[in-house]
Amino acid sequence: MTTPKIKGTIGILTGGGDVPGLNPAIRAVTIRALREGYRVVGIRRGWAGLLETVRDKKADNRDNFIELTEDIVNRAGRTGGTFLHSSRTRPSHVPRKNVPEIYKDIYTDEINDLTSEVIKNLDFIGIDYLIPIGGDDTLSYGVTLYKAGVKIVAIPKTMDNDVPGTDYCIGFSTCVTRTIHMTNLLRTSAGSHERILVVEVFGRYAGFTALLPTMAGAANRCVIPEYKFKIEHLTELLINDRLKHPSRYSVVLVSEGATFDGIEMMFSDHERDMYGHAKLGGIGNAVSARLKEVSQLINKGQRIDTINQHLGYLVRSGDPDAIDSIVPMAYGNLALDLILKGIHGRMVILKNGRYDNIPVDIISSTKKLVDVSKHYNSERLRPVYESFVDKPLFLI
């Protein structure tokens, strides 16, 4: 019996923050590809696995890549996170301290471009097509490789839902679902103590993860990175909301990248990743503290206490919800459809409720942010939703 000829090798990797839905996407790509006669290689730790691969057949590269089988992906396919692991590595901007040992004598600048080594490693592994799954940072390096001649088919992932060109990114629905659920849980404490509930959520530059839960009724108000608000205005609105509620409490969702007069974007530390991002955190604390101070001026000298909760990784951990189980399956199959036709340099997307694909370089040519003039009422600090006719599933 002769062994069927392999049509080619497909590489797949996950980069940036983890979200529920990554493992279903890896599973969808792998099972379809294997059945179509392709070999599938999972790159470990995002771009780091390709950066650190040792081009020696005798080298132990198990930490850098793995050949995927149906058994492997079926075990992980229904779970959250990414079994291939992830990183925020950017091979075109590697600090000298992060240059792999095998290259330390070659790359000695403070910041080094190791893209040529990545391309050689792709050839060493034998990858014909590469499917990166990630947000705009991870996929922007995919654009760099595409422009250098690598056959790229991208899948958008980020719970912030801010990859341009698509209405939906893997991880967003679960994030919104968890935010609504946990905010509703916190209402019991806020109501018991008649406090203002301040919930900090992810969202560095885009406020979708605060806007959509507020639209769904999880909060009275939300503040987002796209609009610099006034703390006095927010306090007045929340005090009025509190007075109208039978249990005397109100709720505000705060995007981690939000700012107000006197407070700029806040960081939990000053260490930056290879994409230039420092870790955000603390705006919820600042809003909470200022709400207590300002409330005395508005509430007849009586200070209103707050409950301040940072949801953090709780919204990106655990199993995917229904949408983040279905969309990754579709995205994986869409990627294979393109590869089977010999098409590359594309990103699979959802647009106006329909699956499609667009040129991958849109990622580096534009930004996807909340359009304040259309979708955010800056007087009420709430989302705008006057009509749902012809709107996409997530409205924005």
What tens digit of pLDDT does each residue of 65-120 get? Answer: 999 999 999 988 888 999 999 999 999 999 999 999 999 999 999 999 999 999 99
Other CB atoms within 10 A of residue 215 CB: 19
Confidence of residue 5 (pLDDT cuts 50, 70, 90): confident
Residue 216, in any domain of the structure: yes
Higher pLDDT, 76 or 248: 248
Residue 206, in any domain of the structure: yes
What tens digit of pLDDT does each residue of 154-179 get? Answer: 999 999 999 999 999 999 999 999 99
Find the range with the poorest average confidence among 88-102, 178-192, 269-283. Answer: 269-283
CA angle 348/350/352 to nearest 5° reads 145
Residue 396, in any domain of the structure: no
Residue 305, in any domain of the structure: yes
Same domain as 13, residue 153: yes
Same domain as 155, residue 30: yes
Report the alpha-carbon distance of residue 63 to residue 85 in Å, rounded: 10
- Please report the pLDDT score of residue 300 as a whole number: 84
Query: What's the start-to-end Cα distance of the chain, in Å?
Result: 55
Same domain as 166, residue 17: yes
Judge whether residue 331 has pLDDT over 80: yes
Q: To which residue do tokens 């922007």 refer?
A: 140
What HEC string does the chain produce?
CCCCCCCCEEEEEECCCCCCCHHHHHHHHHHHHHHCCCEEEEECCCHHHHHHCCCCCCCCCCCCEEECCHHHHHHHCCCCCCCCCCCCCCCCCEEHHHCCHHHCCCCCCCEECCHHHHHHHHHHHCCCEEEEEECHHHHHHHHHHHHCCCCEEEEEECCCCCCCCCCCCECHHHHHHHHHHHHHHHHHHHHHHCCEEEEEECCCCCCHHHHHHHHCCCCCEEECCCCCECHHHHHHHHHHHHHHCCCCCEEEEEECCCCECCECCCEEEEEECCCCCEEECCHHHHHHHHHHHHHHHHCCCCCCCEEEEECHHHHCCCCCCCHHHHHHHHHHHHHHHHHHCCCCCEEEEEECCEEEEEEHHHHHCCCCCCCHHHHEECCCCEECCCCCCCCCCCCC
Alpha helices (H) in 199-271, listed in sequence order:
208-215, 231-244
Q: Work out the average pLDDT over 279-297.
A: 88
- DSSP assignment string, 287-314: HHHHHHHHHHHHTTTPPPPEEEEE-GGG
Q: Work out the average pLDDT over 4-12.
A: 91
- Please report the pLDDT score of residue 8 as a whole number: 97
Q: Which domain holds residue 107?
A: 9-170+320-364
Same domain as 276, residue 149: no
123 labelled catalytic: no
Judge whether residue 22 has pLDDT over 80: yes
pTM score, whole prediction: 0.93
Confidence of residue 262 (pLDDT cuts 50, 70, 90): confident
What's 344's domain CATH number? 3.40.50.450
Same domain as 166, residue 18: yes
384 CA to centre of own chain: 24
What's 227's domain CATH number? 3.40.50.460
Same domain as 304, residue 236: yes
Pairing of strands 94-95, 65-67: unpaired
Query: What proportion of the chain, given as a percentage, has pLDDT over 90?
Result: 85
Compute the half-sphere exposure of residue 259: CA atoms within 13 Å on the CB side of its CA: 15
Residue 220, in any domain of the structure: yes
Higher pLDDT, 5 or 189: 189
Domains identified in the chain, total number: 2
Residue 390, in any domain of the structure: no
Residues 157 and 14: beta-carbon distance below 8 Å = yes
Same domain as 331, residue 289: no
Same domain as 160, residue 249: no
Same domain as 97, residue 228: no
Catalytic residue among 18, 136, 160, 324: 160
Confidence of residue 281 (pLDDT cuts 50, 70, 90): low
Residue 294, in any domain of the structure: yes
Same domain as 155, residue 272: no
Residue 286, in any domain of the structure: yes
Same domain as 233, residue 93: no
Residues 167 and 361: beta-carbon distance below 8 Å = no
Residues 167 and 394: beta-carbon distance below 8 Å = yes
Same domain as 214, residue 144: no
Report the alpha-carbon distance of residue 130 to residue 207 in Å, rounded: 31
Pairing of strands 65-67, 221-223: unpaired
